[in-house]
């Protein structure tokens, strides 16, 4: 078990978009199971479905020849990376709130 201490949110966000390091980042905030379920299993499934819809055997030849689908696929990858960074930011901030010992005084 990893030590329970606050994490650097920016580093966590960078780790979130780097393969293998994203597993370490999610493990540090005890969200490894959710991360694997959402982004590894879900990402692979959505990637396969995306490939089947847009890159069947007839379209694959067109993809190689003119590259028009490359931009769509790149957009998908960028959108997934942004989503990963955003989710890691939310989870890391929530994790850090557990260690915030300053009392909230609102009068």
Model confidence at 13: pLDDT above 90: yes
Higher pLDDT, 49 or 66: 49
pLDDT, mean of residues 28-45:
92
In this prediction, what percent of the chain has a pLDDT beyond 70? 78
> What are 74-103's pLDDT values in tens digits?
788 899 999 999 999 999 999 999 888 755
Q: What are phi and psi of 86, to 5 degrees?
A: -65, -45
Are the CB atoms for 11 and 101 separated by under 8 Å? no
Q: How confident is the model at residue 1 (pLDDT cuts 50, 70, 90)?
A: confident
What does the alpha-carbon distance between residue 71 and residue 40 come to, in Å, rounded to a whole number? Answer: 22
Higher pLDDT, 66 or 50: 50
Higher pLDDT, 62 or 99: 99
The domains of the chain are located at 9-97
What does the alpha-carbon distance between residue 93 and residue 20 come to, in Å, rounded to a whole number? Answer: 21
Q: What's the whole-model pTM score?
A: 0.78
């Amino acid at each position: 078990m990893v030590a329970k201490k606050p994490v650097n949110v920016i580093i966590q966000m960078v780790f979130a978009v780097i393969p293998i390091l994203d597993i370490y980042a999610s493990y540090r905030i005890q969200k490894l199971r959710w991360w694997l379920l959402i982004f590894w299993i879900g990402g692979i499934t959505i990637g396969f479905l995306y490939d089947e819809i847009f890159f069947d055997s007839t379209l694959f030849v067109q993809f190689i020849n003119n590259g028009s689908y490359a931009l769509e696929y790149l957009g998908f990858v960028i959108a997934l990376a942004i989503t990963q960074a955003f989710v890691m930011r939310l989870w890391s901030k929530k994790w850090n709130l557990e260690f915030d010992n300053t009392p909230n005084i609102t009068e």
